[in-house]
Chains A and B, each alone.
Chain A
C-alpha cells in the first residue's frame, strides 16, 4: 500500500515537474539526453528539490528499472565511511540493468561526513568511477572538501520564492480537491520558509482538521506539530529549575535519539523570543555557538547541552 504522505505523493517525478531550479534542470537535461552524467554535487537549503532532482535523473536514465540501478544512502544514518564504502563496493561490482554503462550512487546529507571520511570517499569515487556516478547532496557545499568539489559538477539550489511555494501548494490543492482560503495559503508560505516538504506536511495535517482549511488551522497544526520541548526546557533553565530542564533534555536526546545539532539549532532559533534582556540574548548566542562547536568537534551533545543549561540557570540566579 502506498504511503499516504503528501510530501512523497507530490514529489515531482520528472525534471519538468521540478519547482524552479531552472538553471540546474537545463544543464541536467543535456547530461540525461546524452546519457552521460558526471559526478555531481547538489547544495542548497532543505526542501528545495535536491533529492528529487537526483531521483528524477535516475528515472529518466533507467525508466522503470531505476530502483535497481540506484543506491540511495544517507551519510547521517550510516555509521562511518566504512559502511558506505562497503555498500558502494558491493553495488559497483554488479552490472547495470537495461544496458546502462554506469549506475548511480546518491549520497544524501554528505555534509554529515567528517573531513577524514570525505577523503576516503574521494578515493572510493575514483576507484569506481568507470561503473558508478555519484550524486552528493548537502546543505552547504563549503562543508565538502575541495578535492571532491573539484571532481564534481557543483549545482547550487536556490531558496524558493513565495511564488514557487504557491505553485506547489496549488498542485496539492488541485490534486486533493482541497478548499483553502488565501490567508491559509499565505500562512503556509510564511511558516514553511521555502521548504516544500514542510509546506506539504502543514497542508496535510491541517486538512485532517476540517473541510475548509483556514489560517487558524494552519497555525494550530504548526504549534501542535512543532514540539515545544526546547522552549519548555529553556524556560525551566531560565527560572533556575535546572533539574526539570535536564529531564526534558534527556527525553529528547536519550529517549527520542534526536541529533544534538538539531536541538542546538532549535535553541538558537528560540533565543530571540525569550523573555530576557537584549544583551543576555547576545551572550546566550555565544554560549550556544561554543556548545555547537564542541559538538561538531566530536564532544557529547548531552554533556555539552547540560553544561549550557546549567550556565543559563546560574546566570539567572546571579541576576536575581
Chain B
C-alpha cells in the first residue's frame, strides 16, 4: 500500500501543517509530568497520526499506541496503557510517547468508562500523551479537552497534495498528467491519504495516467451530491462508472430519474445523442412502471442501469463543456403550483359534474370552446363564472393554463 510505503519518515516529510508541527514540537520540548496532553484535531487523512509517528522516530522514542479499532473500556485502557505510562523502562534507556488515536470514536456503550480511564492516564502519565480526533468538540470529550492543548491540523491544500502525488509518481516511474493529479487532489478535499489511495488505484501497474482515467474511481464515504452524480452520468465514457456515479446519492431513484430527465437537454446537443438518450430513459421508464404496477422491486436495478449507463452511452463523444444542471421542473412544478392546481381541479371537477363527463373530457372537448366563448362574449363569461361559483380570477387562471 502506497499510503504505508510513502508515509513520512520525518516531520519535514509531512506535507504542509507547518504551524501544527511547530506547535507540537514546542509542546513536546516543554512537556514534563503533570503538563497538558496534546490533542491533534482535524479532518481525516491530513497527517495527524503520521506526524506523531514521525515525532517518535525523530526523538528516538517508543510509541505506545491505541486507536479506535481497539475496545477502549476502562479496564482495557488501564490494562494496555496503565503500567506503561507510569513506569519508566527498566531495561531500555529510551523514552516513550503515548498515542491515543481517534478518541471521538469512543462508543458510549462498549467504551464505558473510557473517558474516565483516558483522563486518568493523562493525569498520571510520566510520558507525553498525544491524542487525535476529527471532531474534538463532541460533548463527551469535554473533560479530556480541558486537559489538553488543542492543535489544529488543516485540510492539505491542493497544491501540497499535488506535490506529494507527483513525488510518488516519480518514484514509481509513472507519468502523470498534472491535470489528473490536480483532479485527484480536488476530489479528496484535503484528504491526502485518500488522494494517495486514489492514485494507487489508478496507477498501479501502469506507466501513465490521464484525466480520463479518473472516471473509474468510485466515491469514498462522502455523499456524492446530485450534481456530481449527473456529471458522472453525462460525462463518463464507461457504462459502469455512469452506473456507479449515482449510488451514493441520498435520493430516491425516482427522483434521480427526473433529475436525469431534466438535464439530458442541457448536456446533449447532437440530435442523435438526444434520441438515444431519451430512448434509454424511455426503456428505464418501462422498468419503472413494472416496479410500480407489479411492486416488482427487482426491476428497479434495470431501471437504474438504463437511466444511468444507458443515457451515458447515448453520446458519440463526451461534451467538453461546463453544464449548469437544473432541478427537475416536473417535481418543482408540482410543489410550486399546489394551491393553484387544487383550485383548478375543483373548478374542473364542478364542470365535469355539470356536464356529466370526466375532467379529461372537459379539458379536451369543452374547454377549448368554453374559453373561446368566454373570450368573445362577456355575458357568457359572467354566466359561466356564476354557474360554477367561480371568481373572475378563477376563470383567468383557467385561461392561463389552457388558453
Q: Which residues of A contact B377 (CB under 8 A)?
A: 208
Q: Which residues of A contact B366 (CB under 8 A)?
A: 5, 7, 201
Q: Indicate if the CB atoms of B376 and A300 lie closer than 8 Å.
A: no
Q: Indicate if the CB atoms of B363 and A257 lie closer than 8 Å.
A: yes
Q: Indicate if the CB atoms of A74 and B274 lie closer than 8 Å.
A: no
Q: Indicate if the CB atoms of B373 and A208 lie closer than 8 Å.
A: yes
Given contacts A205-B376, A298-B289, contact A310 B274 (CB under 8 A): yes
Q: How far is the CB of B85 from chain A (nearest CB, A)?
A: 66
Q: Tell me if B249 counts as interface (CB < 8 A to partner A).
A: no
Q: Indicate if the CB atoms of B369 and A201 lie closer than 8 Å.
A: yes
CA–CA, A135 and B265, complex, Å? 47
Q: Indicate if the CB atoms of A72 and B353 lie closer than 8 Å.
A: yes
Residue of A nearest to B287 (CB): A299
CA–CA, A318 and B272, complex, Å? 8
Question: Which residues 97-150 of A have a CB within 8 angstroms of B?
Answer: 108-109
Q: Indicate if the CB atoms of A310 and B369 lie closer than 8 Å.
A: no
Q: Tell me if A185 counts as interface (CB < 8 A to partner B).
A: no
Given contacts A51-B356, A310-B271, contact A224 B387 (CB under 8 A): no
Q: Indicate if the CB atoms of B372 and A225 lie closer than 8 Å.
A: yes
Interface string of A238-254 (1 = CB under 8 A from B): 00101100100010001
Q: Tell me if B364 counts as interface (CB < 8 A to partner A).
A: yes
Chain A, interface SS category: helix
Residue of A nearest to B377 (CB): A208
Chain B interface residue count: which class? 35 or more
Q: Tell me if A304 counts as interface (CB < 8 A to partner B).
A: yes
Q: How far is the CB of A250 from chain B (nearest CB, A)?
A: 7
Given contacts A74-B358, A201-B365, contact A254 B293 (CB under 8 A): no
Q: Indicate if the CB atoms of B384 and A4 lie closer than 8 Å.
A: yes
Question: Which residues 263-281 of B have a CB within 8 angstroms of A?
Answer: 265, 271-272, 274-275, 277-279, 281
Q: Which residues of A contact B285 (CB under 8 A)?
A: 294, 299-300, 303-304
Q: Tell me if A173 counts as interface (CB < 8 A to partner B).
A: no
Q: Tell me if A153 counts as interface (CB < 8 A to partner B).
A: no
Q: Tell me if B292 counts as interface (CB < 8 A to partner A).
A: yes
Q: How far is the CB of A224 from chain B (nearest CB, A)?
A: 6
Given contacts A246-B265, A310-B271, contact A205 B279 (CB under 8 A): no
Q: Tell me if B152 counts as interface (CB < 8 A to partner A).
A: no
Q: Tell me if A24 counts as interface (CB < 8 A to partner B).
A: no
Point out the residue from B271, B358, B402 that lies within 8 Å of A242, measured CB to CB: B271
Q: Which residues of A contact B369 (CB under 8 A)?
A: 201-202, 204-205, 221, 225
CA–CA, A165 and B52, complex, Å? 96
Q: Indicate if the CB atoms of B352 and A77 lie closer than 8 Å.
A: yes
Q: Indicate if the CB atoms of B279 and A310 lie closer than 8 Å.
A: yes
Q: Tell me if B204 counts as interface (CB < 8 A to partner A).
A: no
Q: Tell me if B80 counts as interface (CB < 8 A to partner A).
A: no
CA–CA, A77 and B68, complex, Å? 60
Q: Which residues of B contact A307 (CB under 8 A)?
A: 275, 278-279, 281-282
Q: Which residues of A contact B265 (CB under 8 A)?
A: 242-243, 246
Q: Indicate if the CB atoms of B355 and A310 lie closer than 8 Å.
A: no
Q: Which residues of A contact B228 (CB under 8 A)?
A: none
Q: How far is the CB of A238 from chain B (nearest CB, A)?
A: 11
Residue of A nearest to B294 (CB): A298
Point out the residue from B277, B330, B358 that lies within 8 Å of A254, measured CB to CB: B330
Q: How far is the CB of A72 from chain B (nearest CB, A)?
A: 7
Q: Tell me if A313 counts as interface (CB < 8 A to partner B).
A: yes
Q: Tell me if B343 counts as interface (CB < 8 A to partner A).
A: no
Interface string of B383-403 (1 = CB under 8 A from A): 110111000000000000110
Question: Which residues 96-128 of B have a CB within 8 angstroms of A?
Answer: none
Residue of B nearest to A237 (CB): B271
CA–CA, A138 and B244, complex, Å? 47
Q: How far is the CB of B272 from chain A (nearest CB, A)?
A: 5
Q: Tell me if A314 counts as interface (CB < 8 A to partner B).
A: yes
Q: Indicate if the CB atoms of A297 and B289 lie closer than 8 Å.
A: yes
Given contacts A205-B372, A297-B289, contact A1 B274 (CB under 8 A): no
CA–CA, A132 and B277, complex, Å? 51
Q: Which residues of B contact A197 (CB under 8 A)?
A: 365
Q: Indicate if the CB atoms of B373 and A298 lie closer than 8 Å.
A: no
Residue of A nearest to B383 (CB): A4
Q: Tell me if A226 counts as interface (CB < 8 A to partner B).
A: yes
Point out the residue from A4, A303, A314, A315 that lies within 8 Å of B261, measured CB to CB: A303
Could you pull out 25 A-B pairs where Cβ atoms are within 8 angstroms?
A: A3-B354, A4-B387, A5-B366, A7-B366, A8-B356, A46-B365, A74-B352, A74-B357, A74-B358, A77-B359, A197-B365, A204-B373, A225-B372, A256-B402, A258-B363, A297-B289, A298-B290, A303-B278, A304-B282, A306-B282, A310-B274, A310-B275, A313-B274, A314-B272, A318-B272
Closest 4 CB pairs between A and B?
A314-B275, A307-B282, A298-B289, A225-B368
10 new A-B contacts at CB < 8 Å, known A255-B401, A313-B274: A3-B355, A4-B383, A8-B355, A197-B365, A225-B369, A262-B360, A299-B285, A303-B278, A306-B281, A310-B275
State the B residues within 8 Å of A (CB): 261, 265, 271-272, 274-275, 277-279, 281-282, 285-286, 288-290, 292-293, 329-330, 333, 341, 349, 352-361, 363-366, 368-370, 372-373, 376-377, 380, 383-384, 386-388, 401-402
